Structure 1
Amino acid sequence: MLPTLLPAATAAVETTRSTPFLMVTAVAAIAVLLVLIIKIKLHAFYALVVVSLLTAIAAGIPAADLVSTLTSGFGNTLSTVALLVGFGAVLGRIVETSGGARVLADTLLARFGEKRAPLALSVASLFYGFPIFLDAGFVVMLPIIFTVARRLRGSLMLYAMPAAGAFLMMHALVPPHPGPVAASSLLGADVGLVLVVGLLVGLPTWYVMGYRLALVLARRSPFLAVPETLGKPGGEGDQPRPSFGVILLVLLLPLVLIFCGTGSNTAVSNYGVDEDNPLVVVLQVIGSTPVALLITSLLAMLLLVVRPNRGKVGSRLEDLVDDALAPVCSIILITGAGGMFGRVLTETGIGGALADALQATGMPLVLAGFIIAIALRVAQGSATVAGTTAAGLLAPAVAADPSQGGFQLACLVVAITAGAITFSHVNDSGFWLVGRFLQLDTTTTLKTWSVIATGIGFMAFALVWVLYAVAS
């Protein structure tokens, strides 16, 4: 039997409903949301807000806490997503209109060949997604994906889904992304070992589920033309195209800055470096993802707009930013509303109730972590929250079992984060982010993005369970 786990986290807002009623309410809410969006064609932003409000009322959240629960979920999501999407969209628009996206696309196609263009984009996303969050990385890669799709006149799905699969795998399984790092901290696992296990499991998982499965699903989907999500194509005019080296600098700079921030945090936590050291403070600031993207987008303006035009830009910079931000405002609002819905489901205590039900089954730790993470993921949407909460619930059981070695702990972390990425659906902000940037309807997003996410989670778990068993 499993040792006693932590009690289920109590809801921040106390409700008077029974656990079965809350679970039925959650299922009904998701069903109503899908009907509103798919059948009635109500805009996703309105549908998410309306269903969030009705779910909160049905779940018994007190009237005094109702509005604060909704707005906190909305605001907390926007606090992490809005800047990433905004700066990422501006950076992507500058890369596209300067001709940089075409330069990078030409280089990738020359190296891999046109027939392997989806693989080229997926590999590029794999490397780019190592230190940078899925939200920001995917947005920055979009103009390159769009340019390749326009040039080859193929369905956008063939090029976007393999790239999205690569970003998703890296975000889910590999430090320094927040889910694996937080779970490692709670379980006392070595982050370096988690990185090794994450790559051992993640690379074959990416190739099979993130790339091959994505291609299969893309080919089965209707033809998808390149949308004008980031503005209309073109805009290069008579401006000379930038060199490949300049574009590479612009794309790699966020990675370098974020690595610097991660390295400084590691030095403080593991090697006793003074956190008030001026160099550490600077590295932590410039290494945060929003600041790294801010710095990079400003540098892109200088190198790709101001310098080629010898400073004679007039209102062009302002127009570029407006053109980049206008199309993504709807995406940002929908993403925030998805966070609102997830927060309502979290506040009802549904996830904790599901975890409590699973802890009494006596299953192995690695399987318990995976299933609890799935339950939390389905209940509230956030992969990071699901992985962190599942790790917290398992922490007492891990501490009570001295047989868990360093490699086993690393496997347990990856098993939890694998469960936390499965079954992405309408309460996941990433679901709306990717779907709306590609202009996919909700049904198509469920048939592609959700299936890829679930495939990545289950294959990663199968592989890590083998490693865990060998190490036991």
Structure 2
Amino acid sequence: MEPVRGSTLLVCALVAIALLILLITRYKVYPFLVLIIVSLFLGIAVGMPMSKIVTAFETGNGKTLGHIAIVVGLGTMLGKMMAESGGAERVANTLIQRFGEKRIHWSMMCIAIIVGLPVFFEVGFVLLIPIAFNVARRTNKSLLLVGLPMIAGLSVVHGMVPPHPAAMLAVQAYHADIGRTIVYGLVVGIPTAIVAGPLFALLMHKRIQLPRDNALASQFVNSREDGLKRDLPGFGITLFSILLPVILMLIGSSADTFVAPKTWPNEIFHFIGDSDVALLLALLFSFWSFGSSRGFNREHIQKFCGECLGPIAGITLIVGAGGGFGNVLHDSGISQELVKTASAAHLSPLLLGWSVAALIRLATGSATVAMTTACGIVAPISAAAHGAVSAELLVLATGSGSLIFSHVNDGGFWLIKEYFGMTVGQTFKTWSLCETIISLMGLALTFALSKVV
């Protein structure tokens, strides 16, 4: 079969993405399987040698998982240690006391941004939702007023702020500087989280009435009302444990500024600033700060680390398959054709990164897969631009696109629907709209930031 060339390659790519949407949303096929199947058929359709299709998919899959599997595993273990020790609850209680009940929605956004840094959205949500239930009960506020700022904060750090694993994918793909990406991510992310979280929650909680009886909420609240006081870790040590990987990455990013390059101190700083090493050191530190100092022995810590990995197996496989799909797009010549088209149309790489990520997000339901796949497509365009576009801003644009309109093919959609006790329509009006606000405002602020940096 003769290889397909020219604009027909782009048509094949659009058909492949449409097929992804159809199989996932209409026929409910698991995204991991769909990504494999569509990748193979895409390779055949564009005339790739059959001997190279599987190799291309496996190469992309392995390249993606080679980094992300380590980050996901270490980040999830750190989140589990924080949950078991009561660290997240300590952060919540402290911020509630300082913000007061009238500004509780602001404190929940802050909690989510802090807690969400090292873990995936779903993990952060499960860690914080018991706190949201108890805060809503204690303050007699709507769960939407408490919960929407929480999920907005989690979502923003998921797409825009390293060392979150999803944002780290884009940092790696675009060869962006981690330190600058963190700073730019906070500059764009915090105003975005404020609008999509507390301000949006103030508007929506009056318009949507949740059912009085929520079985999940009752279960979590009752489990906390056993008359026993929990010995929680201190706020300072908890915050330091959570932010330690960020601190180490900032040290590594700025090493050349403070220490002469190619000296052993410089190499050490770069080594500990690597995302894998930084998260590993933070996890080892948490074994003391959240573990032994809280009365947990070695067996307890081993149990926590082991049992937290099961729930992330599915998303890890999907992320790898997304990388495989992206590599098939690259090896088939689709990415190169997209480079030519974008160059001819003078399309901004920032807008292209956002658009591609948004399209994949709508197709697969996973923000992480959207970032993985979009980076594989857009990275060659970024390289062709010869530094005309900041790699750090490209991370933010791609991350913003990956957060667009969560709908029925997104596991987070159903997670939030069930925990909040909402109907499908109410979930669209709250969670899906919240995600869209984050995506559009993130893109707008990224463009604005590009004018001054």
TM-score normalised to structure 2 length: 0.72
Contact 1:104/1:247 (8 A) holds in 2: yes
Q: Which amino acid aligns with 1:146?
A: I
Distance (whole Å) between structure 2 residues aligned to residue 347 and residue 425 of structure 1: 26
Contact 1:101/1:147 (8 A) holds in 2: no
Aligned residue among 314, 329, 337 for 2:321: 337
Matched with 1:82 is 69
Deviation at 1:81, TM superposition (A): 1.5
Distance (whole Å) between structure 2 residues aligned to residue 147 and residue 342 of structure 1: 37
Identical aligned pairs, as a percentage? 25
- The reply to whether residue 298 of structure 1 matches residue 274 of structure 2 is no
- The reply to whether residue 240 of structure 1 matches residue 226 of structure 2 is no
- The correspondence of residues 31-430 of structure 1 with structure 2, limited to 5 A, is 31-114=18-101, 116-124=103-111, 136=119, 141-142=124-125, 144-151=127-134, 152=136, 154=143, 158-168=148-158, 170-171=160-161, 203-208=190-195, 212=199, 240-264=231-255, 266-267=256-257, 273-275=260-262, 277-309=263-295, 313=297, 315-361=299-345, 368-374=348-354, 377=357, 378=359, 381-382=371-372, 384-385=375-376, 388-395=379-386, 414=393, 416-417=394-395, 419-424=397-402
Summarize deviations over 1:311-344 as a string: whole Å, max 9, x none. 7x26212211122111111221122122222222
What is the DSSP-based 3-state SS (H/G/I as helix, E as strand, rest coil) of the residue aligned with 1:395?
Answer: coil
Matched with 1:4 is none
Contact 1:88/1:140 (8 A) holds in 2: no
- The reply to whether residue 19 of structure 1 matches residue 19 of structure 2 is no
Deviates further, 202-211 or 215-224:
215-224
Deviation at 1:221, TM superposition (A): 12
Matched with 1:28 is 15
Summarize deviations over 1:230-281 as a string: whole Å, max 9, x none. xxx88x99873212122122112112211111121x33xxx78232x22222
How many residues are treated as equivalent by the alignment? 411
Closer, same or farther in 2 for the Cα pair 1:447/1:464, shift >3 Å? same
Distance (whole Å) between structure 2 residues aligned to residue 203 and residue 140 of structure 1: 21
Deviation at 1:355, TM superposition (A): 3.1
Distance (whole Å) between structure 2 residues aligned to residue 272 and residue 463 of structure 1: 33
Closer, same or farther in 2 for the Cα pair 1:246/1:216, shift >3 Å? same
- 5+ unaligned residues in a row in structure 2: which ranges? 138-142, 218-222, 361-369, 419-423
Closer, same or farther in 2 for the Cα pair 1:97/1:214, shift >3 Å? same
Distance (whole Å) between structure 2 residues aligned to residue 285 and residue 157 of structure 1: 38
Pairwise CA RMSD: 4.5
Deviation at 1:22, TM superposition (A): 2.0
Distance (whole Å) between structure 1 residues aligned to residue 323 and residue 209 of structure 2: 28
Closer, same or farther in 2 for the Cα pair 1:305/1:15, shift >3 Å? farther
What is the DSSP-based 3-state SS (H/G/I as helix, E as strand, rest coil) of the residue aligned with 1:17?
Answer: coil
Distance (whole Å) between structure 2 residues aligned to residue 298 and residue 261 of structure 1: 19
